[in-house]
Amino acid sequence: MTDAAGIARGAGSGPLLVSEVAPAKINLALHVTGRRADGYHTLDSLVVFAAIGDTIEAVPAPDAATPALAIRGPFAAGLQADPDNLVLRAARAYAAHGGAIAGLDLRLDKQLPVASGIGGGSADAAATLRLLARIAPLPAPATDPCAAIAPTLGADVPMCLRSTPLRATGIGEELQPVAGLPRLPMVLVNPRVAVSTPAVFRALARCDNPGLPALPATFADVAALAAWLETTRNDLEAPATALIPEIAEAHAAMAAAEGCLLARMSGSGATVFGLFPDDAGATRAASGLAAAHPGWWVAATHAPGS
């Protein structure tokens, strides 16, 4: 049930601890197609979301007028729970739209590498909006308030808010759902080197590339999708690799893994994904990569189909 402030409560037990996963965003393909007068680059990208991510939790804090943030997890080091943190910015924006979120604090369990091209703060902000909408829903307006808030927090937040397979164009705000994708067993590898997205865009040799080729209505299996992806690119991989040579090593190691159908960097890096025919192959590849590169972050996972 909910109290007068709209906060979900259990019978006689106070506020319920609730959580929301912030799935890793994987750019299967990312073409940079132009640059606007305001400096933002336009993109054409095929995006899926993995079954691995950070977690946002809401916890009871009866005396809190506004939520505070605690950060934990293997990648918490170096993150600051300050007003610029996207989780807190999302919470403030939700409250500004009328969300009654007093009496709550937030916790971020940071399981994904920071500045790694797989969503990061954007996914965390989107998960915060979804979480708050569940426990302190706003009166139903003509438009979804979370969808209105998301673009104000960053270009990737609208797609992370959906966290379903989609094609993103414009600066990432023009979203089309994509059907016909198979379930994608995959391995993610990150050499634990942070990448500056602005620096990668500055290093682009050109930004007027063609967009994605036509998407088939459906793909028979992962191999069929990988074959189509071979006709596409991540235009940010070359400039990112020039800045962070470890990306090339991660890409080469992934591509050499037994059964890998496609290896490519996601987003602006430095995470590299590999697609595999099945979960068993992805698990074997992840074990081998982790053993050969103990300093890397390696995870076997999958992206749901559509």
CA distances from 113 to 54, 63, 116, 166, 240 (A): 10, 33, 6, 23, 16
Q: Are the C-beta atoms of 48 and 94 separated by less than 8 Å?
A: no
Task: From the candidates 144, 156, 235, 279, give the one annotated as an active-site residue.
Answer: 156
Residue 110 known to be catalytic: no
Residue 90 CA to residue 146 CA, distance in Å, equals 9
Task: From the candidates 25, 105, 109, 110, give the one annotated as an active-site residue.
Answer: 25
What is the largest distance, in Å, between two alpha-carbon atoms of the chain? 61
Give every CB contact of residue 50 below 8 A, 6+ residues apart in sequence.
Answer: 23, 24, 26, 118, 186, 188, 301, 302, 303
Residue 92 CA to residue 287 CA, distance in Å, equals 41
**Residues that are catalytic:** 25, 156
